[in-house]
Amino acid sequence: MQSTHNQVVVHFNDGRLLKGYTHDFYPEKATFHVNQSMAAEAGAVQEIKVADCKAIFFVKTPQGNTTYAEKKKFEDVAAKAQSGIKIKVEFKDGEIIRGISLGYNKLKKGFFVLPVDPKSNNERVYIVAASAEKITIGPDAEK
């Protein structure tokens, strides 16, 4: 059985970042592992507590595209049929993320957000709900 490795950038509550690969992140689990190399034997594997995280960014490339200016607001991208809830997350550190959530539930410990910009380096972002200062859904998420 082949396992899937996702490229991630983990943003911790204390401001640290960790780039690497994970194959065992599940929203309902309290921990997951990040390896800084795709080959399990080549890199240092770290166990990460989800409670220590602000968000886990599942990315196309770990370095991103430094020449591309990502669009951060719904009004900045061409309107297209997107199913899901428009959502705006304001983190305790001041960062704001807007996107579409297919599974936001205020009673859950976290949720995934798809970025506003389809050309974003982020494929999806898992938001740890406790790291959010304010979550706005629906038309008010555009403000």
Instruction: Judge whether 6-59 and 74-142 match in fold.
Output: yes
Report how far residue 20's alpha carbon sits from residue 46's, in angstroms, rounded to the nearest whole number: 10
Q: Where are the domains of the chain?
A: 6-59, 74-142
- Degrees, nearest 5: CA angle 84-90-92: 140
- Going residue by residue through the chain (143 aa), what tens digit of pLDDT does each one get? 345 789 999 999 999 999 999 999 999 999 999 998 765 556 688 999 999 999 999 999 877 777 888 877 777 776 665 668 899 999 999 999 999 998 899 999 999 999 888 888 999 999 999 999 999 999 899 88
Top CATH class of 6-59 equals: mainly beta
Query: Which tokens belong to 83?
Result: 């199913």
Q: What topology is assigned to 74-142 in CATH?
A: SH3 type barrels. (2.30.30)
pTM metric for this prediction: 0.88
CA 93, CA 86: separation in Å to the nearest integer? 21
DSSP 138: G
